């Protein structure tokens, strides 16, 4: 009681409310069906997932006509190991990876559900674990990989290093 | 296709700030149901206290204890409190010139109705029962008993 107070908590807490766009709702509907979709800009051919309904680079709108289905399988091309700290991020270290989707030069970032930090290496074959539909809050739907709760091993052999070197991976915008 | 919803995303940054000697004394005082101000060489009594004299930039180490009563200098009505506000009912943010001070303290004033708020009204502190050394140790200010 007599000890002086030397610190104060200074919580910054911001609530954002953002209506879901038509494109986002279509994306979430596809996720519920176990499909991953995006929009390809008709002008520059950049791929957006979740689709924004426009390409901010070209300032053109995109629509269902520009919809493409993306593979929900891919290859680990980069990863980070997240170690817990005192405030958050759980109790055990986890691996987050960049997954290059099959057939297209697009990577998504997500947590690897069954790859331990010791095992992590590029080339692991993965498939998306779709989030439970009840957990598909729109809050998730602003970022690449929304609606995908993580990535698990597909069981296929690793992609060999010489093939990995030929990947040209562009990030999703 | 499901109906459009408006999801809420909450972004939080749980900072912990070091108070330093001046604010430490102020917050320690609040925990102990005391309100401390400090006085500049020119005689200005500042509450909340400042680490330095705003006019001369000298350090301030002349402490004055104030009572918990004062006068509302100005106020703004909050009809719909946010979830982190001190009070979860409509209230007023007010600049409060505590008796003996020459500067204003920002805090919440609880009144039953906006019509009861006016600049110049007398208010007094309501302490929280469980105090930890925070500005929230003052639950709010309330109109002084007539």
**Using CA atoms, how far apart are residues B140 and B138, in angstroms rounded to an integer?**
5
- B63: containing domain: 20-143
Read off the tokens for B112: 């039953």
Predicted pLDDT of residue B61: 85
Predicted pLDDT of residue A139: 47
Q: What is the pTM of this model?
A: 0.67
Using the beta-carbon criterion (under 8 Å), do A13 and B16 form an inter-chain contact? Answer: no
Q: Would you give per-residue pLDDT tens digits along chain B (146 residues)?
A: 455 567 777 888 889 999 999 999 999 999 999 999 999 988 999 999 999 888 877 888 899 999 999 999 999 999 999 888 989 999 999 999 999 999 999 999 999 999 999 999 999 999 999 999 999 999 999 999 76
Using the beta-carbon criterion (under 8 Å), do A9 and B6 form an inter-chain contact? Answer: no
Q: Does B111 map to a domain?
A: yes
Closest to A108 measured CA to CA, from A43, A31, A6: A31
Q: Does B13 map to a domain?
A: no
* β A67-70/A36-40 pair status: antiparallel
> Taking an 8 Å Cβ-Cβ cutoff, which residues of chain B contact chain A?
1-2, 4-19, 23-25, 27-28, 31, 82-84, 132-135
**Predicted-assembly ipTM surpassing the 0.95 threshold:** no
Q: Does B8 map to a domain?
A: no
> How many angstroms separate the CA of residue B82 from the nearest CA in chain A?
10
Q: Does B28 map to a domain?
A: yes
Phi and psi dihedrals of B143, rounded to 5? -55, 135
**Using CA atoms, how far apart are residues A145 and A96, in angstroms rounded to an integer?**
12
Domain boundaries, chain A: 22-171
> How many angstroms separate the CA of residue B38 from the nearest CA in chain A?
17
> How many A/B residue pairs have CB atoms within 8 Å?
91
Using the beta-carbon criterion (under 8 Å), do B9 and A16 form an inter-chain contact? Answer: yes
Using the beta-carbon criterion (under 8 Å), do B12 and A14 form an inter-chain contact? Answer: yes
Closest residue to A12, CB basis, from B1, B15, B23: B15
Closest to A140 measured CA to CA, from A36, A24, A23: A24
Number of domains present in the structure of chain B = 1
- pLDDT tens by residue, A21-79: 888 888 888 888 889 999 999 999 888 888 889 999 999 999 999 999 999 999 999 99
Read off the tokens for A113: 């559900």
Residues in chain A within 8 Å Cβ distance of B135: 8
């Amino acid at each position: 009681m007599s000890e002086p107070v030397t610190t104060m908590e200074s919580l910054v807490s911001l609530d954002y409310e953002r209506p879901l766009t038509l494109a986002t709702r279509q994306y979430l509907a596809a996720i519920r069906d176990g499909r991953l979709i995006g929009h390809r800009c008709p002008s520059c051919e950049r791929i957006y997932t979740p689709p924004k309904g426009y390409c901010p680079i070209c300032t053109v709108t995109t629509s269902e006509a520009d919809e493409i289905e993306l593979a929900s399988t891919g290859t680990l091309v980069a990863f980070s190991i997240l170690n817990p700290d005192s405030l958050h991020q759980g109790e055990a270290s986890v691996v987050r990876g960049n997954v290059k989707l099959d057939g297209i030069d697009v990577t998504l970032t997500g947590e690897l559900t069954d790859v331990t930090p010791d095992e992590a290496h590029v080339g692991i074959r993965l498939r998306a674990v779709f989030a439970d539909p009840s957990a598909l809050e729109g809050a998730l739907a602003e970022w690449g990989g929304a609606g995908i709760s993580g990535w698990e091993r597909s069981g296929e052999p690793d992609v060999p290093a010489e093939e990995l070197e030929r990947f040209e991976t562009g990030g999703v915008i | 296709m499901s109906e459009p919803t408006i999801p809420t995303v909450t972004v939080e940054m749980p900072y912990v700030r070091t108070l330093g000697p001046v604010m430490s004394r102020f917050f320690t005082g609040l925990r102990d149901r005391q309100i401390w101000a400090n006085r500049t060489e020119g005689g200005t009594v500042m509450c909340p206290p400042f680490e330095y004299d705003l006019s001369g930039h000298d350090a301030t180490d002349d402490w004055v204890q104030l009572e918990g009563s004062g006068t509302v200098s100005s106020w703004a009505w909050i009809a719909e409190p946010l979830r982190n506000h001190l009070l979860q009912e409509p209230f007023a943010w007010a600049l409060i010139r505590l008796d003996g001070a020459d500067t204003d303290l920002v805090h919440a004033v609880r009144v039953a109705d906006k019509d009861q708020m006016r600049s110049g009204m007398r208010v007094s502190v309501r302490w929280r029962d469980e105090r930890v050394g925070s500005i929230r140790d003052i639950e709010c200010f309330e109109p002084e008993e007539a």
